[in-house]
Amino acid sequence: VNNVETLANVPSIIKKGGDWYASIGTEQSKGTKLFSLSGNIARTGVVEVPFGMTLRRLVEELGGGVPNGHKLKALQLGGAMLGFIPASQIDLPIDFEGLVSIGSGVGSGGLVVIDESACMVDVAYMLMSFAQSECCGKCLIGRLGTKQMLDILQDITNGGGQPEDMDLLAELGESMALGSLCPLCGGAPDPVASILRHFRDELEAHIKERRCPAGVCQGLTQ
């Protein structure tokens, strides 16, 4: 074990005992977790919370909520290659098993707060751009899959999306998840998959109505 966060827990466990540590958290997710709060949130920074705390308490009580009178739209928890959690699920507890079941996860402990001023399609495009640039190119599906998904998302944000693009994004994502050699390319489709699941109306507005509801995508606002 060489994770700094794990090692930092060792002195307290030695001093107070394993039963003490196991009493914190939930039945399946023991102890505490560090989260780095960022994005559209009043108080950024690193906080330590027990497993079992709800996302709402993490965002609103510790992070001060969404500033400037804006409403929460989504959260991305755990890292850039994990799916978005819609605002409607903010009362979920923070634990390993529950978050994985909705396409998210604890991951590295990052928490990005996204408010209503953001376009989820544009956010997915930026994340796919990152994945494509970081892809090592060793596996064919990772190299070509990230590039093709990036091209499709770019077309959609520029006003050139087609209705069949939604099915193609889903099919590419499934192939990448199964065939990629590393977690980067295997997880790269997760943000897109969560948009297809939770924010499909935004995607359809871009494609069918040639409209960005948030007014962010320049190709659809000119």
Instruction: Tell me what pLDDT residue 222 has.
Output: 55
To the nearest 5 percent, what fractions of the chain are helix, strand and coil? Answer: 50, 15, 35
CATH of domain 34-115: 3.10.20.600
Instruction: Name which CATH class applies to 120-220.
Output: mainly alpha
Spatial neighbors of 62 by CB under 8 A, at least 6 apart, are 37, 43, 47, 49
Q: Terminus-to-terminus CA distance in the chain, angstroms?
A: 53
Map out the domains of the chain as residue ranges. Answer: 34-115, 120-220
* Sign of the C-alpha dihedral computed for residues 122, 126, 128 and 132 taken in this order: positive
pLDDT in tens, the chain (222 residues): 668 888 999 999 999 999 999 999 999 999 999 999 999 999 999 999 999 999 999 999 999 999 999 999 999 999 999 999 999 999 999 999 889 888 899 988 999 999 999 999 999 999 999 999 999 999 999 999 999 999 999 999 999 999 999 999 999 999 999 999 999 999 999 999 999 999 999 999 999 999 999 999 988 865
In the chain, the DSSP E strands lie at 32-39, 45-50, 72-77, 84-86, 110-115
pTM: 0.90
Q: What are 202's two structure tokens?
A: 């935004």
In the β-sheet with 84-86, what is the strand arrangement from edge to edge?
45-50, 32-39, 110-115, 72-77, 84-86
Instruction: Tell me what pLDDT residue 221 has.
Output: 67
Instruction: Tell me what pLDDT residue 218 has.
Output: 86
The rounded distance, in Å, linking the Cα atoms of 107 and 203 is 27
Nearest Cα residue to 183 out of 144, 149, 136: 136
Surface-to-core class of residue 54, CB atoms within 10 Å of its CB (0-12 exposed, 13-18 middle, 19+ buried): middle
